[in-house]
């Protein structure tokens, strides 16, 4: 039914709106934990995962929702995650962050997005396709099923979900937030909203015959492939992307945050390189911070756990190298000047 495919647009609108309001970006979330010891965005992300995890597991165990689990290719997940994590720090946003910023008028993000598309195609169809074929083979999984934390331990999903929710929930609500805000949502509100958008995405997308939740890598590739290589097949995900841009645009416009922003030239180049790396990494790992770190985790996929860990490691290493290391050098240089005053 066409309306089911187009319902991707409705989910995308809400998704884009929530991303912009919550300033939600896994890059910010993962990076700030290291860079400024600020876990506000990380909490939003964790809450979104938990809400979706409980919702999807409940719908699935009631037999109301079929789910599919990303396959575990350890080498592709590890390498792709690292490259993606490094790329998102350079580009200043993960795939969702980049996309919602395009909706706000960030020129660097637009450039990163185009480079992301190029990266997807190079890894999927271009020069690096043999690497993808080599690393994405060798699916590890019990009797053909993709590996999840539950079937790895041989237990019911709830036996994994409940302890996870209790532990993470305790950590989440232990301490509060901050005073100044630019009119964006609190982490609680972002996390809850994105969690519910994620559940709605599973339902709506599965009904259209695409049984997975929110994702960006695949849908973006559909668009880039369709535009540059021909044969555009509009599925649920393709509409999700359109909705995302529109939703972020509506959110930014209605809050007067819309503005064409142009950074200096070297930063544009950095965004483009970062975008390209994100594209290569996401395609290799079979997903990005949305497909793996939000949706894949909600079905306890081992591939998603590994990819997410790898993305965080890649992001931290790059952040350290780009921001922490130069700051330390700078402090060492400027120390005498300050004390001399």
Partner 1 sequence: MSYDTDMTQETLDVRGEICPYPLFEARKKLEALASGSRLEVLIDYPLALDNITRWAESAGHEVLEVVEVGSSEWRIVIARA
Partner 2 sequence: MRSGRGLVAVGIEIALAALLLGAAGLGLWQLNRPLPNANALIAREIPDSAALVDARGPLAFGRGHLPGARHLWSRDLLSFEESAGSLADSEELERAVRPLRLEPGAMVMVYDDGDGEEAALVVLVLRAFGFDARFLAGGVQAWSARGGELSTTYAPEQEASPVELEFDRRLVVEPAEAHAHIAANEVAPIDVRAREGYLGGHLEGAVNVPVSELLAGGDPPRYSVLSRSLGPARITRDTHPLVYGATPGQAALAWLVLAAYGVEHIHVLGDPYPALVEEGFAISETSTPAATSTRTSSVCWR
Per CB under 8 A, the list member of 150, 287, 297, 319 interacting with partner 2 is: 287
Q: Which is nearer to partner 1, 252 or 299 (by Cβ)?
A: 252
Per CB under 8 A, the list member of 174, 264, 332, 336 interacting with partner 1 is: 264
In angstroms, how far apart are the furthest CA atoms of the chain?
74
CB of residue 36 to partner 1, shortest distance in Å: 5
Q: Can you read off the two tokens belonging to residue 330?
A: 């700078």
CB of residue 292 to partner 2, shortest distance in Å: 7
CA distance 162 to 158: 6
Q: Binding string to partner 1 for residues 5 to 44, with x set by CB under 8 A, is what?
A: ------------------x-x-xx--xx--xxxx-x----
What length is written for the chain?
A: 341
Tell me, rounded to whole angstroms, the distance of Cα 53 from its chain centroid: 16
Answer yes or no whether residue 23 interacts with partner 2 by CB under 8 A.
no
Picking from 267, 257, 213, the residue whose alpha carbon sits closest to that of residue 236 is 213
CA distance 306 to 78: 7
For residue 27, the tally of other CB atoms under 10 A from its CB is 27
Note whether 208 and 8 are within 8 A (CB).
Answer: yes
DSSP string of 265-300? HHHHHHHHHHHHHHHHHHHHHT--TTIIIIIGGGGT
CB of residue 173 to partner 2, shortest distance in Å: 24
Residue 208 binding partner per list partner 1, partner 2, none, with a CB distance cut-off of 5 to 8 Å that depends on partner kind: partner 2
Q: Which is nearer to partner 1, 233 or 337 (by Cβ)?
A: 337
Residues 294, 60, 77, 124: is their CA dihedral positive or negative? negative
Per CB under 8 A, the list member of 126, 163, 177, 209 interacting with partner 2 is: 209
Residues that bind partner 2 (CB under 8 A): 1, 3-4, 7-8, 10-11, 13-14, 17, 63-66, 68, 70-71, 136-137, 139, 143-144, 146, 196-197, 199-200, 202-212, 215-219, 221-222, 235, 237, 247, 250-251, 254-256, 286-288, 290-292, 295-296
């Amino acid at each position: 039914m066409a309306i089911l495919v187009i319902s991707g647009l409705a989910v995308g609108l809400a998704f884009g709106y929530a991303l912009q309001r919550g300033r939600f970006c896994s890059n910010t979330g993962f990076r700030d934990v290291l860079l400024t010891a600020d876990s506000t965005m990380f909490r939003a992300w964790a809450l979104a995962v938990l809400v979706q995890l409980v919702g999807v597991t409940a719908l699935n165990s009631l037999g109301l929702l079929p789910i599919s689990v990303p396959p575990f290719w350890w080498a592709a997940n590890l390498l792709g995650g690292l490259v993606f994590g490094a790329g998102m720090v350079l580009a200043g946003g993960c795939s969702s962050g980049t996309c919602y910023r395009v909706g706000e008028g960030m020129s660097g993000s637009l450039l990163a997005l185009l480079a992301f598309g190029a990266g997807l195609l190079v890894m999927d169809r271009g020069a690096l396709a043999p690497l993808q074929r080599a690393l994405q083979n060798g699916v590890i999984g019990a009797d053909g099923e993709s590996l999840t934390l539950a079937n790895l331990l041989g237990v019911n999903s709830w036996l994994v979900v409940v302890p996870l929710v209790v532990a993470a929930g305790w950590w989440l609500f232990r301490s509060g937030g901050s005073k100044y805000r630019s009119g964006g949502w609190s982490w609680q509100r972002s996390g809850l909203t994105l969690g519910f958008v994620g559940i709605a995405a599973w339902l709506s997308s599965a009904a259209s015959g695409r049984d997975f939740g929110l994702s960006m890598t695949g849908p973006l590739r559909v668009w880039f492939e369709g535009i540059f290589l021909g044969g555009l097949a509009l599925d649920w995900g393709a509409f999700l992307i359109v909705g995302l841009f529109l939703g972020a645009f509506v959110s930014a416009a209605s809050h007067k945050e819309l503005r064409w922003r142009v950074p200096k030239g070297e930063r544009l180049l950095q965004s483009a390189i970062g975008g390209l790396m994100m594209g290569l990494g996401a395609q290799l790992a079979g997903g990005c911070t949305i497909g793996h770190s939000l949706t894949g985790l909600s079905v306890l996929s081992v591939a998603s756990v590994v990819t997410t860990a790898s993305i965080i490691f890649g992001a931290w290493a790059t952040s350290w190298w780009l921001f922490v290391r130069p700051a330390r050098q700078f402090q060492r240089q400027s120390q005498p000047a300050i004390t001399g005053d």
